[in-house]
Amino acid sequence: MLKIIAGFISGIVVVALLAYSYMGSLMFWEVESAFGVEETVARIQQNVQNVGNGWTLSGLRNPGKAVESSGGNVLPVMMVEACSTKYSGPILKDDSVRFLSILMPCKISVYKKNDGKTYIGMMNAGLMGKMFGPMVGDIMAKVAEDQKKFIVFDPSQPAPPMIKPAPPGVGGSAGAGAGGGC
Amino acid sequence: MAALVVAFNASALQVKPDIAAAQAAYNGKEANVSTADHSKFKELQKNFRTGPEVTQACLICHTEAARQVQHTKHWTWQSADPKTGQMRGKKNIINNYCTSVVSNEKDCMACHAGYGWKDQSFDFSVEKNVDCLVCHDTTGTYRKLPGYAGHPVYKRVEFPRGSGKFVEAVDLKKVAQNIGKPSRTNCGACHFFGGGANGAKHGDLDSSLQHPGKYLDVHMNEQGLNFSCTTCHATSSHQVSGSRYNVAAAVTGAASIRGKVDASPASCQSCHGNKPHPESMDRLNQHTEKIACQTCHIPEYARNDIGTELSWDWSKATTMDENGKRIVRKDSAGRRAFDSQKGEWKWESHVIPEYRWFNGDSVYKVIGDKIDPMQTVQLNVVGGSPDDPDSRIWPTKVHRGRQPYDTVNLTLTVQHTGGEDGTALWHNYDWQKAIGTGMKAAGIPYSGKFDFVDTELTWPITHMVAPKEDALTCVQCHSKNGRLKGVPGIYMPSRDGNQWLDMIGWTAALLTLLGVLAHGGIRILTSKKEG
């Protein structure tokens, strides 16, 4: 009997440790981009505008600017913010899950690392949505599908211009995006 | 007084930051106050018609100035290699930006400190053709445009042609009466825009250095030390110290006192010495024996939105749209990306340097040198090795190009690009005519057959020094995939390992574990038997 209980507890501990180790990489993921930071941002912006489902650009943040203004040296980081009221509306109307507004707008981070390469970081909306019931899970699954389309690039097409906030974002501020969004 | 100021400057960096701040305040308030008001000089109270007329007026008082300038690279556009005697300089080399000045003088000489160099017949001995104003104008209104052989515009012109934008005629009298020491604006007018666009050529020099913050350049920071270019590039008899042709790659010894004999005041060591870190960080001081200061203190170059050009593909030039019209396209950040006249470019900001051993020597490809088109042509072969005591690991920018060469004579070609004549590439999009004219002007044979070859041009990075807090950290180099991953000939803990030593260590650890398990097992077994 003691062996069974010990085995059960050991199993729980192992699963907990595995979950703890892999939680980060499950909730967020990172892929390498074949383009530079600006061009990756611009191609994502273009995809957001073309993917349909009510997606609009709601901002472009540069968190590195805030660090830079105080004399810091960080490699480029840019965050494309996009929103679809088609998806955000039902969540914002439901008091029980309204706190999920903290995840809005949808953010896609584009950054350079010390290896000189450009990476894209995104939240795993599909997995995260499953934790908050069927309505949110269903919406977030659709968001996840669209997110995948945001980062499909056609290298044969020339680089589109990056859509910059107006007025220019300073100190990490978002500025107005092209569509306003959420 | 000047010697006092620079000596003051040198000591301030090492000893007392408050003195450095005081010096910065001095720079801002009084350094530009001259003992002469040039507007009061009768010689300068004329309505000058041309630049050479102004120079003649300058030379009335500054009798030796023109002769001094005529001995500088700013005038000759050439530089002799002290070891081989090879003549380099813009006049002789071929690069992978605009390629060559030969046959394009009328355009390129917008950045020559002279007037009238429009072809090979230019007389380098005429003193009145020295351009004083381009380096000494303080009004910011003196502007030299491509196409005028080094002259400013004397009448209002549309520039670029067909753009609807106009450049006003220069007021030579006003400029001549308002001259001063060269500022960032004067130097930057050419050096920030090398390669035909802001930041294109160097990567560590662009117009952001006009008003830089501490983050971008700790020395030129307007709110801090506020150095001008000439603070480091100290000048004597118009000879400007520092050169990319003869780089001071491994200067040793304590900090220098300006005014005394000093081979290279334009080095970090000349102010900071070769043991710049506190004694408590002596390990870092030992690094200076193998690593250039710039390697750690310029973590990335082109640290702004301007960026720098990383490649220029001339083979794409003359590609037109379906209607035969010129194509002009920008990249996502608004920088030039494609032009039917010139080809295709790639740009990047915040660029991680490529690191290599460098001893300051570079052997350049000059016009007429043979190449091997089966390999990427190194337009400058950078010297240096781990065994060379004069070598250090340096950060570099490598500019990749694809440019035309003569497939029979195996030489890089000179092409006539700028101008409105019938053979200029940017006018008629005909490579054969452009190369034919360029090669004839250069005086080297052309077979009539050309193709394109990959080339590389290496630039040491030395500007845009970051604050010390932003220097590279240990782990950025001391790791398997760190910054110095590919640099050979040096043992770096955490990057390198000895296979045998590692095997011995792991074997010892394994045997220890086995010994402990065996010992414990025997103890358990024997205790059970006894019990």
Cβ contacts (< 8 Å) between B330 and chain A: which residues?
161
Query: For chain B, how many helices (H) and strands (E)?
Result: 17, 17
pLDDT on residue B32: 55
Helix, strand, coil percentages in chain B from 3-state DSSP, rounded to 5: 30, 15, 50
Report if residue B454 sits inside a domain.
Answer: yes
- What are the tokens at B159? 């520039």
Mean pLDDT over B107-119 rounds to 96
Please state the ipTM of this predicted complex: 0.76
Amino acid at B450: F
CB pairs under 8 A between A and B: 63
In angstroms, the first-to-last Cα distance of chain A is 57
Alpha helix positions (H), B238-316: 269-272, 282-287, 293-297
Of A165-179, B203-217, B310-324, where does mean pLDDT reach its minimum?
A165-179
Residue B395 has pLDDT above 90, yes or no: yes
Report if residue B81 sits inside a domain.
Answer: yes
CA-based nearest residue in chain A for residue B338: A158
Report if residue B230 sits inside a domain.
Answer: no
Share of chain A above pLDDT 90, in %: 57
pLDDT on residue A180: 45
CA-based nearest residue in chain B for residue A46: B332
Mean pLDDT over B281-309 rounds to 94
Q: Which domains, from first to last, does chain A contain?
A: 28-150 (3.30.310.70)
Share of chain B above pLDDT 90, in %: 75
pLDDT tens per residue across span B23-69: 455 454 445 578 899 999 999 999 999 999 999 999 999 999 999 99
What is d(CA A90, CA A139) in angstroms, rounded to the nearest whole number? 9
Of B412, B445, B460, the residue at which a domain comes to its end is B460
Residue B2 has pLDDT above 50, yes or no: no
Mean pLDDT over B129-134 rounds to 98
Of B261-270, B422-431, B441-450, where does mean pLDDT reach its minimum?
B261-270
Mean pLDDT over B487-493 rounds to 92
- Residue in the structure block whose two tokens are 């004999």: B261
pLDDT on residue B15: 36
Check whether residue B174 and residue B312 sit in a common domain. Answer: no
Mean pLDDT over B370-396 rounds to 96
B213, B337, B349: residue with CB nearest A76: B349
pLDDT on residue A167: 60
Tell me if chain A has a CB within 8 Å of the CB of B215. yes
- What are the tokens at A32? 């390498």
Residue B461 has pLDDT above 90, yes or no: yes
- What are the tokens at A125? 């909306």
Query: For chain A, how many helices (H) and strands (E)?
Result: 6, 5
Evaluate whether B108 touches B264 at the Cβ level (below 8 Å).
no
A102-106, B111-115, B220-224 — most confident range: B111-115
B215, B329, B338: residue with CB nearest A68: B215
Label residue B437 exposed, middle or buried (CB < 10 Å: 0-12, 13-18, 19+): buried
pLDDT on residue B322: 96
Query: Is B405 strand, coil or helix?
Result: strand
Other CB atoms closer than 10 Å to residue A103's CB: what's the count?
Answer: 17
B214, B333, B476: residue with CB nearest A71: B214
Report if residue B37 sits inside a domain.
Answer: no
Interacting residues of B2 by C-beta distance below 8 A, sequence separation 6+: none
Of A78-82, A92-96, B398-402, B495-499, where does mean pLDDT reach its minimum?
B495-499
Cβ contacts (< 8 Å) between A160 and chain B: which residues?
332
Of A13-27, A73-87, B191-205, where does mean pLDDT reach its minimum?
A13-27
Mean pLDDT over A46-50 rounds to 95
pLDDT on residue B11: 37
What is d(CA B20, CA B212) in angstroms, rounded to the nearest whole number? 17
Residue B105 has pLDDT above 90, yes or no: yes
Label residue B146 exposed, middle or buried (CB < 10 Å: 0-12, 13-18, 19+): middle
Which pLDDT band, with edges at 50, 70 and 90, does B266 fall under?
Answer: confident
Cβ contacts (< 8 Å) between B470 and chain A: which residues?
71-73
Report if residue B4 sits inside a domain.
Answer: no
Mean pLDDT of chain A: 86
Report if residue B474 sits inside a domain.
Answer: no
What is d(CA B58, CA B66) in angstroms, rounded to the nearest whole number? 9
pLDDT on residue A170: 44
pLDDT tens per residue across span B222-255: 999 999 999 999 888 999 988 777 777 777 777 6
pLDDT on residue A22: 78
How many structural domains compose chain B? 2
**DSSP assignment string, B56-123:** HHHHHHSTTHHHHHTTSHHHH--EE-TTT--EESTTTB--SSS--STT-HHHHGGGSSBS---STT--
Residue B22 has pLDDT above 90, yes or no: no
Mean pLDDT over B112-133 rounds to 97
Q: Which domain holds residue B115?
A: 43-180
pLDDT tens per residue across span B151-176: 999 999 999 888 899 999 999 999 99
Report if residue B56 sits inside a domain.
Answer: yes
Residue B413 has pLDDT above 70, yes or no: yes
Of B239-253, B453-467, B474-488, where does mean pLDDT reach its minimum?
B239-253
Which of B:422-481 have CB within 8 Å of A? 466-467, 469-470, 476, 481
Residue B305 has pLDDT above 80, yes or no: yes
Mean pLDDT of chain B: 90
Cβ contacts (< 8 Å) between A80 and chain B: which residues?
none
Of B413, B445, B460, the residue at which a domain comes to its end is B460
Higher pLDDT, B273 or B1: B273
pLDDT on residue B347: 97
Check whether residue B312 and residue B172 sit in a common domain. Answer: no
pLDDT on residue B244: 77
Tell me if chain B has a CB within 8 Å of the CB of A81. no
Residue B352 has pLDDT above 90, yes or no: yes
Rounded to the nearest angstrom, the gap between the alpha carbon of residue B386 and the centroid of all alpha carbons in its chain is: 24
Check whether residue B176 and residue B315 sit in a common domain. Answer: no
Mean pLDDT over B346-360 rounds to 95
Residue B9 has pLDDT above 70, yes or no: no
Report if residue B105 sits inside a domain.
Answer: yes
- What are the tokens at B412? 């890089």
Residue A57 has pLDDT above 90, yes or no: yes
pLDDT on residue B216: 92
Of B143, B163, B180, the residue at which a domain comes to its end is B180
